[in-house]
Structure 1
Amino acid sequence: MSALAESASLIARISNVLTEIDLSCECRSRVRDAIARFETLEDTRQAHHALAQARNHRHRIGALMALLADLDEIGWNEADSSIYLELSDLFEDIATAAREGAAATRQLDRRTLLRRKCAEQPSVE
């Protein structure tokens, strides 16, 4: 389960428990407001985390690309063929970092769509 789904599930469970408690109308409203604030804070925290992850993967790819520059200096008939395996590993590491960076930015997109969808829904009181 993704962090987004886990967070939404946790907030929904907390909300369900708290709304089942026999509270006065004023207290119930305050609890709903507190849950909404917590949900906003959690969403912001996870969005910042996803953006930081994407940036870290970009930096990692940049560093790996610098190492991959050695490819310009070698030929097809290198005496030590292990260099080809090392370069192959660099390409694999770049691919992995790219997949993980894409997943982090996809998470940001899902969060944006979810926030937009929630903002469009009328409040049920």
Structure 2
Amino acid sequence: MGTIFMAQLMGALYGLLAVIFGAFGAHALKKKLTPELLQSFETGVKYQMYHAIVLLVIGFNLGFDAPIDTWIVNCFIFGTLLFSFSIYALCLGAAKGNKPKFLGPVTPIGGLLLVIGWALLLYSFIAHII
């Protein structure tokens, strides 16, 4: 699949799921999660939606004429997957009294990929002047 199509597809999918998960968190999980866990769950939803929008914007606007463009899209796709979805799993696991410890390091790895994606995007904008 092409990078443009992947950015658009994953942006739309992540946006759809962010709305569903946001509603699920606000209604079904409100009584099951502590306020701290609910806030963490909402953080996962927010970051997922932010990056869904970014994927759509760059999918329709980036030139995709350089290898860095593919790296940017992949960092956002995999970073969102690791960051947001590990938060969901950690929150739901904690609510059931079963906190999956192997997911603990996954969240910061996802966050690091998101940071790298943003740094690469910034670099792609300023590369011609440095």
Bigger RCO (CA 8 Å, 6+ sep): 1
Give the alignment's TM-score, normalised by structure 2: 0.38
Larger radius of gyration: 1
Name the TM-score, length of structure 1 as normaliser.
0.39
